[in-house]
Chains A and B, each alone.
Chain A
Amino acid sequence: KQEVTQIPAALSVPEGENLVLNCSFTDSAIYNLQWFRQDPGKGLTSLLLIQSSQREQTSGRLNASLDKSSGRSTLYIAASQPGDSATYLCAARRGSNYKLTFGKGTLLTVNP
């Protein structure tokens, strides 16, 4: 059974800092891994999706990496802004089925 863990559960940083969010998964036989952002009371916004054959994906100030052998993914946020404050979730898709297994998320607060 796939388990996804996100550490830390909460992170507070000053504006402008570069930061890394961590995601680990127990079953390395993943098909892809997806990072989401969730604002309070809102749905999830897809940020990046990394296929199992890829090492990283970039979108603007965001860069996600994937290391299947170690069971880890990281989300790097450059030059953080107060608008980046949200909960960030990662989810792993195993094999060819459609199911995503989610971590519990990291609550990020960027202080002005």
Chain B
Amino acid sequence: SQTIHQWPATLVQPVGSPLSLECTVEGTSNPNLYWYRQAAGRGLQLLFYSVGIGQISSEVPQNLSASRPQDRQFILSSKKLLLSDSGFYLCAWSVLLGASSYNEQFFGPGTRLTVL
């Protein structure tokens, strides 16, 4: 069965410090990978998605970047955090199954980031 891991679970960082959040998926190959942010009072916002190693699409201009160094690893980074980067960061994966393009998304446990 497939499993998705995120770490750390919680993080408190000062403004201006760097950030690295990691997401790994087990039990599947060549998944599509996604980073979302969930801020209080707002819906889930898609930040980045990747269809393969080194292939990153950015959805929202911002202070963050993403990388996919391995097939099942997705990293979210920042060089200098802003207060507005605080939120709950969720990683997700999906695969295309057969001709129907069944594309259910599955989410990880999330990372709670607080920028002070």
Interfacial residues, chain A to chain B (CB-CB below 8 A): 4, 31-32, 34, 36, 41-46, 49, 51, 89, 91, 93, 96, 98-100, 102-105
Interfacial residues, chain B to chain A (CB-CB below 8 A): 6, 32, 34, 42-44, 46, 49, 51, 59, 90, 92, 94, 100-110, 112
A49 and B100 alpha carbons, distance in the complex (Å): 13
Instruction: Find out whether the CB atom of B43 lies under 8 angstroms from the CB atom of A103.
Output: yes
Instruction: Find out whether the CB atom of A42 lies under 8 angstroms from the CB atom of B101.
Output: no
- Which DSSP category, helix, strand, loop or mixed, fits chain A's interface? strand
Specify the chain B residue showing the minimal Cβ separation from A36. B107
Q: Please indicate the chain B residues that have their CB under 8 angstroms from the CB of A43 in the complex.
A: 6, 90, 107-110
Task: Tell me how many residue pairs across A and B have CB atoms closer than 8 Å.
Answer: 54
A71 and B54 alpha carbons, distance in the complex (Å): 36
A98 and B112 alpha carbons, distance in the complex (Å): 25
Instruction: Find out whether the CB atom of B107 lies under 8 angstroms from the CB atom of A98.
Output: no
A104 and B104 alpha carbons, distance in the complex (Å): 19
Instruction: Find out whether the CB atom of B104 lies under 8 angstroms from the CB atom of A100.
Output: no
A84 and B106 alpha carbons, distance in the complex (Å): 19
Query: Could you show 22 A-B contacts with beta carbons less than 8 Å apart?
Result: A31-B103, A42-B110, A43-B90, A43-B107, A43-B109, A44-B44, A45-B107, A46-B104, A46-B106, A46-B107, A51-B100, A51-B102, A91-B44, A96-B101, A99-B46, A99-B49, A99-B59, A100-B44, A100-B46, A103-B43, A104-B43, A105-B43
